[in-house]
Amino acid sequence: MANRKIVVALGGNAILSKDASAEAQQAALRETAKTLVSLVKENEKLIITHGNGPQVGNLLLQQMIGSTKSNPAMPIDTAVSMTEGSIGYWMQNAMDDVLEDEGIDKSAATVVTQVEVDANDSAFQNPSKPIGPFYEKEDINKIRELHPEYIYVEDAGRGYRRVVPSPKPVNVREYQVINSLVDNNVIPISVGGGGVPVVREGNHLIGCEAVIDKDFASEKLAELIKADLLIILTAVDNVYINFNKPDQKKLENVTVEELENYINENQFAKGSMLPKVQAAINFVNNGCGEAVVTSLKNINNFLQKGSGTIITK
């Protein structure tokens, strides 16, 4: 089974927990790299994708605080590319260190990835993805003086948050570059934070104010490069039904049809597990191979015992 092409999707929260310093995030990624190298040791072809939710939220806050008319905050597409670069740098540095420590003749490289979305996606008419910090109502009025185009909604009595569209990915512009790196013994790090959202205007790709779900973007990349396996990492070893209830049940080997039935029963939380399950279903339905949802710490158990939630046709 070795020598498979495997896309592993890391969550942004796996990189940053409470300490937002560069040093803390680099330390977390070094531990992540030690785990991911176990796949390389099995002669698998590894492609890493990652989230950036906490990081891009912090960056946008920093941009907002320093924003003036003469030195305005950068738009979201640029902020996503900035975190793709910073997290990619930390990740490739950590991977290269661990690979060298293990005596493995490979290296990692970051690809700042443009992910195309449909300009007519209904998400653009219904911004729903919260980003950045909470604000009081009076703060919103001050922000609107500089950025009247921003949309804020009240969030569960905790304050107001900016919301942006979250369109579905339709293409990954650099997927052939990523495939070339894999073919040349390089571990690509790409589709950071769902990738830089772009729309096509004639022959040009134009950045837009949106955030793409990184699980859907990872699936689209896995599909395009014809990966054999998509591993979506989350906080738990398995997907559960009746989660956190007395009769909760972990799913181990499950079919697409079974998962679709569970979705109809509203078994999976919209903001967390649902997109992971939907991305896994998309990958399997596209005839590419199997998908796995599990935790980072369970990777070795998956390799040795098949532990985790394994989704098949």
Q: Which domains does the chain have, with CATH numbers?
A: 5-116+175-312 (3.40.1160.10)
Give the H or E element holding residue 232: strand 229-234
Count CB atoms within 10 A of the CB of residue 140: 15
Q: Dihedrals φ, ψ of 8, to 5°?
A: -115, 120
pLDDT at 135: 82
Residue with tokens 């772009």: 198
pLDDT at 13: 62
pLDDT at 258: 97
Nearest CA among 38, 32, 34, 131 for reference residue 87: 32
The per-residue pLDDT of the chain, averaged, comes to 91
pLDDT at 58: 79
14: DSSP letter: G
The catalytic residue positions are 12-13, 129, 214, 276
Contacts of 118-124 with C-beta under 8 Å, sequence gap 24+, read 118/167, 118/168, 118/170, 118/199, 119/199, 119/200, 119/201, 119/208, 121/165, 121/167, 121/168, 123/165, 123/166, 123/167, 123/168, 123/210, 124/165, 124/167, 124/208, 124/210
pLDDT at 17: 64
pLDDT at 68: 82
Distances (CA, A) of 9 to 2, 45, 53, 191, 257: 19, 14, 13, 9, 23
Q: Are 237 and 248 in contact (CB under 8 A)?
A: no
Q: Which residues of 250-265 are buried (b: 16+ CB within 10 A; e: fewer)?
A: ebeebebeebeebeee
pLDDT at 176: 98
- pTM of the predicted protein model: 0.90
Averaged in consecutive runs of 10 residues, what is the pLDDT profile of the chain (313 residues)?
A: 88 71 88 94 95 78 81 90 93 97 96 97 91 80 78 81 91 98 97 96 95 96 97 94 94 97 94 92 90 94 93 94
pLDDT at 156: 67
Q: How many helices (H) and strands (E) does the chain have?
A: 9, 17
* Measured distance CA(126)–CA(167) in Å, rounded: 10
* Measured distance CA(80)–CA(192) in Å, rounded: 8
* Measured distance CA(73)–CA(79) in Å, rounded: 9
